[in-house]
């Protein structure tokens, strides 16, 4: 039940209206009527068709592909809400695009993640609610409060329901050890790491496995997959090391055509993911999509009611009792 004196308004662009409607269903509020379309020259047009003066506005818009289009919609929606005198504007970004461009790792390249954060703040957003950022330090790129949720509780409920025994959680690279460790602790499972070498932007070579996986059920966990090169390469070497059933748990699945083909011929029995971005229909046979509408909806409710959001992203509370 909502307790804030401000009326809540939830607005969505065209990136993922199904998720926005599911969030509204959880909260028991209607989706705000808004027009989001394009002019013949490709420019984005936005009009909020309801009075939002003095309202608490939440804009639900993952910046998934088409990334630039969806990002511009978010910025223009925020500007429209600000100019319509909204009391507070929160950008709900389940998937934050450009998150991997977070540092200068080559000469003369931008830090695009910081640029995007600056644009969101400049558009008039007062707060950001997001999930499973590629790097947690991205929260510091914003000069406004950021609430960072994790898909882990949603994933754990499903993983426990399928009752896998002799379980090992696998990080597909050294950078993902913290996430894998959280899953392993919550599921009382073992932990392993795949050491990989990137050959190109779309091709990964898995080199070796650190940890015992022979005869074990394994779950490869990661925050994002697009081409599935890392997952498929990791699964191949895990099979060669004697792993039994191989699953993958990925927070954000932005599957390309190449990824769908790779998954079809891979050792991965099931890819478990969330609806932070719209799911591809042609990948349904290998992909299990879990909804994060309740998780995001609860985050929105707590922000709206000025309650603590910290318990929603405290992964230490997810351990099996």
For position 91, which CATH number holds? 3.40.50.2020
Quick one: 160 and 244 in the same domain? yes
Structure tokens belonging to residue 131? 């999930």
Same domain, 176 and 211: yes
For the ranges 100-114, 152-166, 214-228, 307-321, the lowest mean pLDDT is seen at 307-321
**What per-residue string of b and e applies to 78-89 under the rule 16 or more CB within 10 Å gives b?**
bbbbeebebbbb
Asked if the structure places residue 1 within a domain, the reply is: no
* Residue 94 and residue 163 in one domain: no
pLDDT of residue 166: 93
Q: Using CA atoms, how far apart are residues 317 and 181, in angstroms rounded to an integer?
A: 14
Q: Which residues are catalytic?
A: 196
- Residue 122 and residue 99: Cα distance in Å, rounded? 18
Same structural domain, 131 and 240? no
| 131 in a structural domain | yes
Whether 44 and 115 share a structural domain: yes
The answer on 238 and 138 residing in a single domain is no
Q: What's the structural domain count of the chain?
A: 2
Same domain, 31 and 110: yes
pTM for the predicted model, two decimal places: 0.91
Per the CB < 8 A criterion, the answer to whether 150 and 156 are in contact is no
Residue 39 lies in a domain: yes
Q: What is the rounded average pLDDT of the residues 199-213? A: 73
Q: Are residues 122 and 181 in the same domain?
A: no
Q: Predicted confidence band at 319 (pLDDT cuts at 50, 70, 90)?
A: very low
Domain span at residue 214 reads 152-290
- 59 and 84 together in one domain: yes
């Amino acid at each position: 039940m909502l307790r804030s004196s401000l009326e809540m308004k939830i607005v969505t662009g065209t990136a993922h209206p199904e998720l926005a409607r599911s969030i509204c269903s959880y909260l028991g509020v209607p989706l705000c009527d808004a027009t989001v379309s394009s002019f013949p020259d490709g420019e984005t047009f936005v009009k909020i068709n309801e009075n939002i003066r003095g309202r608490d506005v939440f804009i639900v818009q993952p910046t998934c592909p088409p990334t630039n289009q969806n990002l511009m919609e978010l910025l223009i929606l925020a500007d429209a809400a600000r100019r319509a005198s909204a009391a507070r504007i929160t950008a709900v970004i389940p998937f934050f695009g450009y998150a991997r461009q977070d540092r200068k790792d080559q000469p003369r390249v931008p830090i695009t993640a910081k640029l995007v954060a600056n644009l969101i703040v400049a558009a008039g957003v007062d707060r950001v609610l997001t999930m499973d950022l590629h790097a947690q330090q991205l929260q510091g790129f914003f000069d406004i409060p950021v609430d960072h949720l994790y898909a882990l509780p949603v994933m754990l409920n499903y993983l426990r329901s399928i009752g896998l025994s002799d379980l090992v959680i696998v990080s597909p690279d050294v950078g993902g050890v913290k996430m894998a460790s959280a899953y392993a602790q919550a599921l009382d499972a073992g932990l392993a790491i795949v050491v990989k070498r990137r050959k190109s932007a779309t091709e990964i070579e898995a080199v070796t496995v650190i940890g015992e996986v022979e005869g074990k059920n394994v779950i490869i966990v990661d925050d994002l997959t697009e081409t599935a090169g890392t997952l498929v390469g990791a699964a191949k070497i895990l099979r060669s090391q004697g792993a039994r059933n191989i699953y993958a748990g990925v927070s954000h699945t932005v599957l390309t055509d190449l990824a769908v083909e790779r998954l079809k011929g891979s050792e991965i029995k099931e890819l478990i993911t969330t609806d932070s971005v719209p799911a591809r229909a042609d990948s349904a046979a290998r992909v299990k999509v879990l909804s994060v509408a309740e998780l995001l909806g609860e985050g929105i409710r707590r922000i709206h009611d000025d309650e603590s959001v910290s318990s929603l992203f405290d992964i230490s509370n997810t351990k099996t009792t």
